[in-house]
Amino acid sequence: MINRLDLRGRSLSARELAATLPRPEVGVEDATKLVAPIVEDVRSRGAAALRDYAEKFDGVRPEHLRVPAEALAAALDGLDAGLRASLEESISRVRQVHAAQRPQDFVVDVAPGARVRQRWIPVQRVGLYVPGGLAVYPSSVIMNVVAAQEAGVGSLVVTSPPQAQDGGLPNPTILAACALLGVEEVYAVGGAQAVAMLAYGAAAELPQDGDVLAEPVDVITGPGNVFVAAAKRLVRGVVGIDAEAGPTEIAVLADATADPEHVAADLLSQAEHDPMAASVLVTDSVELADAVDVALARRAAATRHAERVATALGGPQSAIVLVDDVEHGLTVVNAYGAEHLEIQTADAPALADRVTSAGAIFVGPYSPVPLGDYMAGSNHVLPTGGCAHFSSGLGVHSFVRAVQVVEYSRDGLAEIAGKIVSFAEAEDLPAHGEAISARF
């Protein structure tokens, strides 16, 4: 059901491993060509373009692009009590973890009369995208909003695709999650057009749009399909973005002590997201590999999204990778840089401390990826496509900027004035030196 890649006896460099290991072809470059006219159209026509694209892509022309306050309240009132309790528990745990992420200001007195401070300042306005394609993701609302709130962001915007069956509003569970978190500015806009609206703002079309439908934001975060990723690429530089999120990934590093049923269930849990989702098992145990293969076939046939799962598991992006030993396996997963990495080995905690590239690490048999998707307290917006080699998951750090504040006295500057002038002369920038010497 799933491909096998045998790396036993092969000594490959990190670069060679990265090229050999399975990965989905995302096609952001091709999508960018399709998305560019949409972004420009929204920039120029605002709400009118947003309604046109909603009608074209979502099958509904929203009367209200900005979700009315009464619709948010009604969604919360209609929320199932059990689901509300789950959302509230998730919010509480995610808030605890993200509150601990807040960076601290500091002051350094470099010398007498020479002080440098560093301040962490939240961005002013953030746009949070919540997808609405193959599933409903109130969890993404929580992950994005709580991180921004704990960073101290003052203005939060959530946007999610309009649903024809919900009268042109986003899914009511999405709206209820927004209401639970106190988010009042929510838009029924999806896809690349939502990214364009967040980046450039949008002029009003109808009286209910107000004087201006939406003001631009400083940072856009949240997962989406390839067209959302392409739109983010286009507006990067106009605004900050978290990442160009691709299909979800799970890698499991396991030895013979792992339970094949657990491993199979975890691989399948991410495969149900998307036909392009990547599920990778790295193991030194052929017996485990065989047992997982059997369990996958049985579980995949019985799951609700069997066709989607079969496509993902059978695609070139998924595989069981055989390695010489756990040490070899660690080298492989570090080269892969998975969005989610599970470690199910005899020495999982010690091994986890040696991982150098992963979006998030799940240690031991009772820390499956869906725990992190919903309620561990960690953030589930994570780097994909190998981006874990150089980037982090979403967090408070995604919404703050470090600003250094320099304050020198006359004596503090005088002590090093001559050295600064020498530096300026060496770089052939005499006006730099004159800006110093003019003070003495």
The residues carrying an active-site annotation are 339-340
Q: Is 184 annotated as a binding residue?
A: no
Q: Is 389 annotated as a binding residue?
A: no
Q: Is 340 annotated as a binding residue?
A: yes
Q: Is 374 annotated as a binding residue?
A: no
Q: Is 397 annotated as a binding residue?
A: no
Q: Is 305 annotated as a binding residue?
A: no
Q: Is 270 annotated as a binding residue?
A: yes
Tokens 């409903």 locate to: 136
Q: Is 380 annotated as a binding residue?
A: no
What are the C-alpha distances in Å from 284 to residues 5, 13, 329, 437?
12, 19, 7, 68
Q: Is 373 annotated as a binding residue?
A: yes
Q: Is 384 annotated as a binding residue?
A: no
Numbered residues of the known binding site for NAD(+): 129, 193, 225
Numbered residues of the known binding site: 129, 193, 225, 248, 270, 273, 340, 373, 427, 432
Numbered residues of the known binding site for substrate: 248, 270, 273, 340, 373, 427, 432
